[in-house]
Amino acid sequence: MTTFDDLVEAQDELDAIVIDVLGSILGEEAAPAHLDLPDGQVATARLAIHDEGDDTFAVVEVRVGIALARVMAGRMMFVADPEDDDVLDAVAELGNICGGNVKSLLCQHARLSLPSAEIGSGLPALSGASVRVRAVVLGHLVELAVTPGAPIEGLDWPPAAVDEELERQT
């Protein structure tokens, strides 16, 4: 039994996190939704939680259609026409806030990776173990997915955590 085994039972709390974070960032009311993200360009933030108690990982992903991602970046950075770098920064921070809140919800003795973000077409499939919640804001869907045991390759960790990882490996 690991920290991330009870994710399905935390679905209401995950719903609350994504709604709260979107409401705060955009200054707009968000509501739970049960639709799939439409096809097209998507901005995705990805980061990992490492539960140091049982040495397990979960990957947190936040997916936002590109139109909403641009609105979000514009509102966060006070620009009318954000560059792609601004969109990536804004979506990474959205992922970071969601990830930090998911970590605080699920485990105490854990560390959080740095967020990475990308813009692309076509969504890579999530694992069957993923727990997903979706919200609608400004008429657009946002998806938060938490996947226990998903690969963490390509994610960076804060420097102190890197030192701890090296200590563990030696």
Partner 1 sequence: MKILVVDDSKAMRMIVVRTLRQAGFSGHDVVEAENGKEGLDLTQSIKPGLVLSDWNMPEMTGIEFLRALRGSGDSTPFCFVTSEGSDEMRTTAEAAGALGLIAKPFTEDAFRDVLGSVVPS
Binding site residues, partner 1, CB under 8 A? 20-21, 23-25, 73, 76-78, 86, 89-90, 92-93, 96-101, 103-104, 108-109, 112, 114, 156, 158-160
DSSP state of 8: G
Proportion of the chain in helix, strand, coil states, percent, rounded to 5 = 40, 30, 30
DSSP state of 139: T
Cα 135–11–3 angle (5° rounding)? 135
Find the shortest distance in angstroms from Cβ 122 to partner 1. 26
Q: Which two tokens stand for residue 69?
A: 């991602």
If the CB atoms of residues 23 and 123 are measured against partner 1, the closer one turns out to be 23
The pairing of beta strand 131-137 with beta strand 31-33? antiparallel
If the CB atoms of residues 82 and 148 are measured against partner 1, the closer one turns out to be 82
- 8 A C-beta contact, residue 116 and residue 45: yes
If the CB atoms of residues 86 and 143 are measured against partner 1, the closer one turns out to be 86
If the CB atoms of residues 39 and 109 are measured against partner 1, the closer one turns out to be 109
Find the shortest distance in angstroms from Cβ 19 to partner 1. 11
Find the shortest distance in angstroms from Cβ 125 to partner 1. 27
Q: Which helix (H) or strand (E) holds 18?
A: helix 11-26
Find the shortest distance in angstroms from Cβ 137 to partner 1. 13
